[in-house]
Structure 1
Amino acid sequence: MAAIPLKAPSLPGTRECSPFLNRFVTHQPVNFIRKFHPSLDEASFSRRGRTTVVRVLETEKSTKIEKPEPPVKLIALVGKGEVSPLKSTSWEEVMLHTARRLKWVDEGYEMLVFDDEIVSSNDQRAMNLTQELNQTDILVVVAVNNSESVNWIQTNSKNVKNMICFESSPNLMNRLGGTDVGSVNKDKEVTEVVKTVGDAWERRNSDDIRFCLLVIINAYIRPVPVLQNLRSKGFSTLSCMVKNCGPQILNCLLDPNCRKALQCLNQCSPVDQVCSYRCIASYEGPYFEAFSLCVLQKHNCLELDAKIPEKPYVPPMTSFRGKELCHDTAEDLFVGWLGELEWSWRVVAGQNPAYDQFPCQYQLFYRGKGKSSFWYEPVFQVRTLEEKLVWRRRRYSVKRGKIPATFRFSVLDNGVVSNEFWTIVDVSDDLSWGLFHYHGAARVAGQSYTGAVLVTPDGSYPAEKDKERLQSALEKCGIKEWELFAVDNCSCENPPLGIPQGSRLHSRISIIEEPDSEEKFN
C-alpha cells in the first residue's frame, strides 16, 4: 500500500493550520483502513500515526514564541526610622525581607524599598524614585506621617493605579484599580479586597504582610496561582455537591457545630488560610469531617489543585555529632526525647501564622510496628472562637525523602488530605534544640503553605550560646528571627499524649551524647 502523503504543516495562525491538525486529531483513520484492509497491522499504523501527529504538533509548537509576562512592579515607601510591631524591627527591614519573599511566589514580582527621607533629598535619587513611580503597578506606603513626605506622595503618585497605605497619614487616600477608595464604597469586589487586606495586616506577621500584596496583585494586576481558591464555581459546584454529597450536607446543616463551621468559613476570605483554619480547628467534628471528605477530598467540587511550594529551597543538615547523617539517625532526631520524656519535642516558636501559633504544642515521633513505618502526631491546644481551650491531635504518615533529613508527610485533617515536605535543618548535638522546616499543600482545599518550627525538650527558648547557630539555621530557611511566633506554653495541663503499644523509638543514637557509641537508647 502506498504511503499516505502528508502535506507540510502551515504556520500557526494561517487558515490551513487548524483543518490540517483536525484531520488527525478528530478522525480515526485506523478504523477506516482496517475496514478495507483487514490484513494491515493496526498497531504499526497507529504508532506511525501518533508519531506523525506528535511531530506535527512539535513543529507547530516550535514556531510559537511565548512572550514572558511582564514583571509586576511594586514600590514600598516607609517612614524613616519607623519601627514595626514585629519585635521592634524597622519597617524598612520588614519590607526588604517581604520583597525577597515575594520572589518565592513569582520571580516576576519586583519590589523596591525606599525610606521617605529620599523625597526631601532634591537630588538624582528623588528623580529616580519619581521615574520608578511612573512605571510601578502598586505603591505601598507604610508608616509615613511626615507632612512633606505626604505632600510629595500626593503630588507624584497621581498616575499610580494602585496605592495602599498602612499606619500612615489620613491625608493619604488608598487607590485600587485607578479609583480612590473612600470610607463608603459600594463596589463589592473593592470592599472584599479592602476587608481581606485590612484583616490580614492587623494580624501583624510577615506572612500576612506578603499576603496583603498578593491579594492586590491578584485582584488588579494578574492572577496569582496560589490564591486561585474561589469559594464556588457556581452551578457546577452546587451540582457536584447535591449529586454526590446530599446526606453529608444535610447532616452538617442539622448539626449545630458543623453549621457553625460552615458559617464561620463563609465569613472568611476564600484565600485567607489563617481565618479558615481557625474556624476548622474551633468547630471540627465528625459531621464536618464527613462533609469535607465528600465535597472536597472525594469529589473535589471546588475544582482546586494546590501544589506544594518549591521555594524556598532549604538544605537539610548533613552531619550529627561529627558523623555523616543517615536516614536512621535522621529519624532518631525526630524521635528526640520520647522515651526519656513523654514527648519527642515541644514547640517554642513557629513561623506560619495559620498553623504554628497554637498554644502547648507537643510533637510525638515514633516508629511503628512495620519495618519502615514512621509516624508523627502533633498534640496542641486551640483557643476556639468561643474562647474555649480544647486539645487537638493529628496523625501523619511519614516517609523518607531521597536525601537523609528530608521526609514526606501525609495527613487526613478534617476530611482533607494534606501532603508536606519536611526538612531537618539543624539539631544541636546535645538535642537541646532543633529547627524543622516544611512545605505543604491541601490540594483540594486550594491551600499551599510553608513554615518552620523551633523545638526544645521543655518548650523554653534555646540558650544564648546557641544564638549564632540558630540564626544560621533560620537563614537557611529564609526566615528572620523576628518572624517567629512565641508559642504559649504556660497552661498545658493534661495533654492527651501516649503512643500505640508496640511502637519503636531510637535505633542509632542516645539522648546523652556518646560520640564513640552507636548503642541503642534505653
Structure 2
Amino acid sequence: GVPMQAAVNTVFCLALSPGRTPLVLWPNARFKSSSSVSRFPLALRPAASRYHSCHLTLAEVDAVPSPTAANVLILVPNAASNFGQTSPEPSPMWPEVASHLAARMSNFDSRVSGSAWTDVDALGFDDAVANSDMLLVIDLAETDSINVLRRAIASSPRLRACVCIGCTPALDELQFVGAFRPSGLSPLDSLAQQLMPWGEVARGARLHQQACSLISRASSEDLIYACFFVLHAYVLSLPLVQHTVSPTWEKGFGNVKEFYKMVQCCGLPILRAVTDPTTKQAIDMLNECDMRDQVGSYRVITSFETPFLEAFSLCILQRNNCFNCDSQILRRPEVAPMSTWCGEPLSWETAAQIFYGHLDIPQASEAGQRLSQSWKIVCGANPAYDAFPAQHQIFYPGKAKDSIWYDPVFKVDTVDGRSVWRRRHYRVRRVRSEGPGVWMLSTLDNGVLSSERWTMVDAADDLAWAVFHYSGAAAVVGQSYVGALLCSADGLWPQEGGRERIRSALRKCDLQLWELYGHGPHASYMWSEEQLEWLADNPPPLDPLAPADADAADREVALSMAP
C-alpha cells in the first residue's frame, strides 16, 4: 500500500561485491567527489562517473542563473490529426492543433510559451530550436528532415528534451529526455537505470514514458501536462505539476517524513483503509499512477468509492495535508460572463434561472421544460471530468436566502468493467465582486475539497442550450484544472441553429470545438443508444434533491473551509 511503499522507496542498498559492506544510497544523493565513484565495481564506474559529473555542487548551483521562462517547439506535418475523435469537429489539421495548444500553454503558466512548425527548412527554424527547452515531434514521416533536425538539436544550447510520437524509426533515434536516450542507451546506462532509479538516466526514462503515454491520448490537457512535467524537471519550477501525493524518487527522504506524518496523524483511518479489500485495491491502483495525471487517477477514484477511502483521504489530505501540497484556481483565460439574457441585463435572479434550467421547480424560468434535471451535458472540454457518459446537472435553491446547491449525476464505466452511478454535492455562492454570472462552487469529493469558479458564458433565450466555463483547484492534492460544458435539455446538440454562437462562446474560453468530448458531428456518444438502454434498466439517482449524506458533519465542516 501507500505507507509501506513510501518507506521502502526511500532507502536503497547496493552491494558492491561479496563480503564487502553495502554502500547505502539515498534518493537524490550527490557524490561529493570523484573518490566516491572509486567505491563502485569497475563495471559500474563509467556510469557512476557520468552520474557524478551531471550534478553541480551547491556553489556552482548558486552561480547559475535560474531560468525565468520556458519554450516548447511543436513540429507537426500538414495533415489531419487524431484529436477530437468524439467531438463535433473530429480530426482537425495538425497545424491548427499545434498552433492552438502552443498558444494555450501560457494560460497554465504565463512563463511558458510555445510555437508550432510544419517545415524544418523554413527560415528561422534552427533559431527557434536553439531558443527552445523542449522539442515535440508528432506524426512526422518525412525522412528528409532527419539531418536538419539532428543538426538543429546538436547546436541548441538549451534543449533539454526531444520527444517523438508516431514518427518514423529514424526520427525516433533523435529522442532524449535529460540523460536518457531511448535509442542510444549503452549497456552501462541501462544497468545504471536499473540499479540507480534515482539517477538522471532513470529519471529521464520515467519522464519520457510518461510524456509518450499522455500525448498518445490525443487531448489538449494531456499534451500540455506532458510538456509541463518535462519543463518542471529540467527548466523551471511549475506550480501546476509541482506537488504530488505519490511517493517518488525525486522526493528522496521526504517520502519518510510524509509517511511518518501520515501514521502519526491518521493511523486508524489508514488501518481501516488498507484492511478493506475494495479500498486497498483503490489505493494500490492510485499508487501505480502519478496522481498529477488527473484523467487516470480520477477514473480510479470514481471506480472504487467507499466510506473508508473518503475517511482515509479526509484525514491524510484535507485535515492534515500530509504531503504539503498546494494549488490555485487558474485565472487565465479571463472569461467574462454574459451581460444580457432575453434582452435584459443579466441579474442574479435571472442567472440563477439559467442554472435551474429545465428543473421542475417554481423558481425556474417559464422557458424551462419542467424535467427531473436542470440540464444534460452535450459535451465538455476536460478529459478527466467532462468525458463521463450520461451526465445530469441538478441546480436547485437551498433553504438560506440566495443559496443554491448543485448535484451532478453521472455514469462511470469502472476500471474493472462495471457500470455505476456517481453523484456529487456542491455549494454554490455568488461572487458579488464580479457581478451576476460568476459563481464559486465547492464540494467534498471522496474526502478532498475542490473549489471551482464558474462563469456563465452564454445561453439561448429559450434555454435550448447554455455554455458554462469553470476553473478549479483541489489544493491538498496539488491539482488545478479548467473546463467548459455545453448543456441542453436532452443532452443532444441543439437542433435549431446556434452552432456559430456556441463556437463563439467556447472561443471566449480559449477552446475549439474539436477539444470537446461527448458529441460527434451527427450523433451523441454521451447519450448513445447503448447508454440509453443501460439508463432504461438503471435509472439515475436524481431524487431526492438534497441527499442525506450531504449533511454529514465532516462534509459540512470541509465545505465551510472553502474560500
Q: How does 1:421-440 map to 2 (within 5 A)?
A: 421-440=453-472
Gap change, CA 1:179 and 1:250, over 3 Å in 2: closer
Is 1:93 aligned to residue 89 of structure 2?
A: no
**TM-score, reference length from structure 1:** 0.79
Distance 1:336 1:183 in 2: 59
Distance 1:196 1:104 in 2: 22
2:240 pairs with one of 198, 218, 226: 226
Residue type matched to 2:161 in 1? N
**TM-score, reference length from structure 2:** 0.74
Residue 464 of structure 1 and its aligned partner are, at CA, apart by: 5.9
Please, which moves more after superposition, 459-468 or 422-431? 459-468
What residue number does 2:143 align with?
147
What residue number does 2:543 align with?
498
Distance 1:400 1:135 in 2: 45
1:82 touches 1:143 (CA, 8 Å); kept in 2?
no
2:163 touches 2:208 (CA, 8 Å); kept in 1?
no
Deviation string for 1:451-477 (max 9, x for gaps)?
Answer: 111100001012362111101100110
Alignment size in residue pairs: 429
2:71 pairs with one of 70, 73, 79: 73
The structure with more radius of gyration: 1
What residue number does 2:513 align with?
481
Q: How does 1:96-495 map to 2 (within 5 A)?
A: 96-116=99-119, 118-119=120-121, 125-126=122-123, 128-159=124-155, 160-172=159-171, 173=173, 174-177=175-178, 179-182=180-183, 185=190, 186=193, 187-230=201-244, 231-232=246-247, 233-339=254-360, 340-402=370-432, 403-463=435-495, 465-486=497-518, 488-490=526-528, 491=531, 492-493=535-536, 494-495=539-540
Gap change, CA 1:309 and 1:495, over 3 Å in 2: same
Distance 1:499 1:146 in 2: 59
Q: How does 1:27-42 map to 2 (within 5 A)?
A: none
Residue 84 of structure 1 and its aligned partner are, at CA, apart by: 3.3
1:150 touches 1:169 (CA, 8 Å); kept in 2?
no
2:69 touches 2:236 (CA, 8 Å); kept in 1?
no
Residue 181 of structure 1 and its aligned partner are, at CA, apart by: 2.5
- Percent identity at matched positions? 36
2:177 touches 2:208 (CA, 8 Å); kept in 1?
no
1:436 touches 1:452 (CA, 8 Å); kept in 2?
yes
Distance 2:313 2:352 in 1: 32
Distance 2:67 2:543 in 1: 53
Deviation string for 1:131-168 (max 9, x for gaps)?
Answer: 22223211111221112123321233223431111111
Distance 2:385 2:304 in 1: 16
Local SS of the residue matching 2:282 = helix
Local SS of the residue matching 1:180 = coil
Q: Which runs of 5+ in 2 are unaligned?
A: 1-64, 85-89, 194-200, 248-253, 361-369, 519-524, 548-563
Residue type matched to 1:98 in 2? L
1:176 touches 1:220 (CA, 8 Å); kept in 2?
no
Distance 1:168 1:410 in 2: 43
1:419 touches 1:442 (CA, 8 Å); kept in 2?
yes
Distance 1:464 1:102 in 2: 35
Residue type matched to 1:212 in 2? A
Please, which moves more after superposition, 443-452 or 227-236? 227-236
Distance 1:501 1:241 in 2: 33
What residue number does 1:54 align with?
none
Deviation string for 1:399-439 (max 9, x for gaps)?
Answer: 01121011110101101110111011111001000011101
Distance 2:237 2:272 in 1: 36
Residue type matched to 2:143 in 1? S
